[in-house]
Chain A
Amino acid sequence: MSAADDTSRAGGREAAVPPSVVGYILLGTFLLTYPAYASDFFLFQVAAYAMILGIIALSLTFLAGYGGMVSLAQMTIAGLAGYLVAIFGATSATEFGLGWPWWLVVPLAIGLATLASALIGAISVRTEGIYTIMITLAIAVAFFYFTRQNYDLFNGFNGFAGIAPPMLFGVDWRTPLPFYYLTLGVSVAAYVFVLYISRSTFGLSLQAVRDNARRMEALGFNVTGHRIFAWVIAGAIAGVGGVLAVWFNGRISPGTISVGPVIDILVIAVIGGLRRPIGPFLGAIVFVLLENFAIDLIDRERFNTVIGLSFLAIVLFSPDGLLGLWDRLKGRLAQTRPPLS
């Protein structure tokens, strides 16, 4: 892919598809009133879970879509935040968990996850392009093996259980309805945050770095600084997702951050589409629906084959994911311009 081709595409990207206000209002109304017609299962196991996966995948979409760095360590960062919630907070195993209050634990967990992300970024930005995937995958797998064999800090194979969100304002935040609104609020905040960042001065120069790092360097931009800061932002988003995920599951163990879930995040982001921040949420909904209902079609054991084949189909036939399919469809209906390549 030539640099010139890249820049011209990026130039038209933001302006070409302005999200319509009507769409936002419709979607907002639907999401806010969703509990009125959804069962607890659809509220908690489907919607809330999809949004949490969406938030973690959003951090990857931000890094990959705007920064051009495809990371496989996002689940690892989220998992680290989850582990820290368990280590600093309270768990069912009394010998673990420092029992600190939630208002200290949560910022600490997210903060340290962000720091870890910055470190991973600092390591991986020393090389470029395809190497990032290799290095982040190596880090993710190494962290998985580390949590599994280390009993002092991470309680090894068993991990931690009995982790719950705090009782606040007399509400049990783990019951489906409050938890749904909590994840919805955080998801919207994360979405708006990424949108805001992408249009800020930093976001624009980050996209320019993605398209042509050498030119930006020649113009006097600190390329490494921009990349590492992108990792900081992605780390914060993944950390928030990780805290929600550990509250959702109530437990965390090496299985949470093993290679399967690590790759699932990439699958979700790619299926949705890496071009816009709504992509990961779209991908997460498809993923969770497949996960829950593919069992009806085939053997539950073969879920990974289904998801792997869906992923392959998307990568082979629509590199921009479901969003790309949607754009092409719209382009064809409007007939105003040739479909996106």
Chain B
Amino acid sequence: MKLFILTFMNGLTLAALYFLVASGFTLVFGLMRNVNLAHGSLYLAGAYIGYTIADATGSWYLGVVAGFVSMALAGVLLQILVFQRMEGQDLRQTLVTIGISIVLADLMLAIWSGTTYQFSPPEWLFGATELPYILGYRSSGEAVYLKYPTYRIALLVAAIAIGVALWLFLNKTRVGTMIRAGVDDRAMLAATGVNVHLIFVVVFALGAGLAGLAGVIGGTALSIAPGEDVRYLLASLVVVIVGGMGSVTGAAIGALLIGLAEQFGLVYSPTYGVVYTFLIMVVALAVRPQGIMGKRA
């Protein structure tokens, strides 16, 4: 039971991380039909830049901000300099993102080398918190509770908060309404006089920024090293395929499924863990090709 609860918690925190990465991916895709295969690179670049800033200033919070801001800026640049020039050509855009990810991965290797980096989060996030699950009793009759790393609980809370904020942004604000309208029908949105290009830039900045933010937060929970870009790209791909493109709720559901499957797979059948991820994707495609929360294109 203890193993089960720990695995469940690990699955939840991993899902929280996947959600942060995949929600940006799914938003960008839903609105612009742009499969940004450089999304994993944005995650890793955000993590590295965040680390460098946090290391130089000594403030983890500045690192988080740097991860978000730097990647949001990178997203703005990408959208204006590259993707705006080839609008509507989804295959070409995707190929460009592949090229960018190859170059970025190589440049990051050149700058930060193959070393694994580890963030040091602020004091209050260190250590462990007791979960309301009683393992046993001491001889004095005092209950012993199961402990879990505080940082991972904070990660979970942060992801939920960001998810709720994203939901409020998309459903309760004017810009959010425009974005949702754009996901449904780009041409009609443009026809109503909305500056679609500006909306695109905003969404791309938000999506890329979330990837960078996740890079710092995830890099603190785990670690940052070359190859992580591919891991989070795979996670984003599977999460949005399962959850449905363009839906933040779908990304949350997909992330939960994949995160839990990965952790339980790792614990209960170590060498076949990836197979579960794959199977979930296949089943989702077989039953609902558009994804759980996806709409038919």
Whether B91 pairs with A70 at a CB distance below 8 angstroms is: yes
* A301: contacting residue among B88, B102, B110, CB under 8 A: B110
Complex-state Cα separation, A266 to B91, whole angstroms? 12
Interface bracket on A: 35 or more
A308 within 8 A of B: yes
Known: A134-B241, A152-B271, A305-B106. A316 touches B96 (CB 8 A): yes
Whether B285 pairs with A141 at a CB distance below 8 angstroms is: no
Task: Return the chain B residue nearest A64 by Cβ.
Answer: B91
Whether A126 pairs with B289 at a CB distance below 8 angstroms is: yes
Whether B234 pairs with A304 at a CB distance below 8 angstroms is: no
Whether B271 pairs with A149 at a CB distance below 8 angstroms is: yes
Contacts of A329 in B (CB 8 A): none
B273 within 8 A of A: yes
Q: Which applies to chain A's interface (DSSP): helix, strand, loop or mixed?
A: helix
B131-166 toward A: CB 8 Å interface, digit per residue (1/0)?
A: 000000000000000000000000000000000000
A129 within 8 A of B: yes
Q: Which of B1-9, B170-178, B276-284 contacts A (4 or more CB under 8 A)?
A: B276-284
A181 within 8 A of B: no
Whether A133 pairs with B35 at a CB distance below 8 angstroms is: yes
Complex-state Cα separation, A127 to B98, whole angstroms? 21
Whether A130 pairs with B91 at a CB distance below 8 angstroms is: yes
Task: Return the chain A residue nearest B95 by Cβ.
Answer: A315
Whether A319 pairs with B233 at a CB distance below 8 angstroms is: no
Contacts of A270 in B (CB 8 A): 95
Question: Could you tell me which residues of chain B, from 88 to 111, have a CB within 8 Å of some CB in chain A?
Answer: 88-92, 94-96, 98-100, 102-103, 105-107, 109-110
A146 within 8 A of B: yes
B76 within 8 A of A: no
B286 within 8 A of A: yes
Task: Return the chain A residue nearest B89 by Cβ.
Answer: A1
Whether A308 pairs with B35 at a CB distance below 8 angstroms is: no
Whether B33 pairs with A130 at a CB distance below 8 angstroms is: yes
Complex-state Cα separation, A267 to B98, whole angstroms? 9
B223-240 toward A: CB 8 Å interface, digit per residue (1/0)?
A: 000000010011001101
Task: Return the chain B residue nearest A124 by Cβ.
Answer: B285
B275 within 8 A of A: yes
Whether A127 pairs with B289 at a CB distance below 8 angstroms is: yes
Contacts of B297 in A (CB 8 A): 128
A309 within 8 A of B: yes
Complex-state Cα separation, A304 to B270, whole angstroms? 33
Question: Could you tell me which residues of chain A, from 291 to 317, have a CB within 8 Å of some CB in chain B?
Answer: 301-305, 307-309, 311-312, 315-316
Contacts of B106 in A (CB 8 A): 302-305, 308
Contacts of A137 in B (CB 8 A): 37, 233-234, 237
Whether A127 pairs with B233 at a CB distance below 8 angstroms is: no
Complex-state Cα separation, A127 to B289, whole angstroms? 6
A184 within 8 A of B: no
Complex-state Cα separation, A303 to B274, whole angstroms? 30
Whether B35 pairs with A123 at a CB distance below 8 angstroms is: no
Task: Return the chain A residue nearest B237 by Cβ.
Answer: A138
Complex-state Cα separation, A152 to B240, whole angstroms? 31
B272 within 8 A of A: yes
Known: A127-B289, A302-B110, A307-B102. A141 touches B230 (CB 8 A): yes
Question: Could you tell me which residues of chain A, from 249 to 288, have a CB within 8 Å of some CB in chain B?
Answer: 259, 263, 266-267, 270
Contacts of A315 in B (CB 8 A): 92, 95-96, 99
Whether A304 pairs with B103 at a CB distance below 8 angstroms is: yes
A195 within 8 A of B: no
A141-155 toward B: CB 8 Å interface, digit per residue (1/0)?
A: 110011001111000
Report the minimum CB–CB distance from A213 to chain B (whole Å): 13
* A123: contacting residue among B37, B230, B233, B282, CB under 8 A: B282
Whether A135 pairs with B271 at a CB distance below 8 angstroms is: no
Contacts of B289 in A (CB 8 A): 126-127
Whether B282 pairs with A138 at a CB distance below 8 angstroms is: no
A230-264 toward B: CB 8 Å interface, digit per residue (1/0)?
A: 00000000000000000000000000000100010
Contacts of B100 in A (CB 8 A): 308, 312
Sample of 7 more A-B contacts, CB < 8 Å, known A123-B286, A312-B100: A127-B290, A137-B37, A139-B278, A142-B234, A304-B102, A311-B98, A311-B99
Q: What are the 4 tightest A-B residue pairs by CB atom distance, in nearest-first order?
A: A308-B102, A312-B99, A308-B103, A304-B106
30 interchain pairs, CB-CB under 8 A? A123-B285, A123-B286, A128-B297, A130-B94, A131-B241, A133-B91, A133-B94, A137-B37, A137-B233, A138-B234, A138-B241, A139-B278, A141-B234, A142-B274, A142-B275, A142-B277, A146-B272, A146-B274, A150-B272, A156-B271, A259-B230, A263-B98, A267-B98, A304-B106, A305-B103, A308-B103, A311-B95, A312-B96, A316-B96, A319-B92
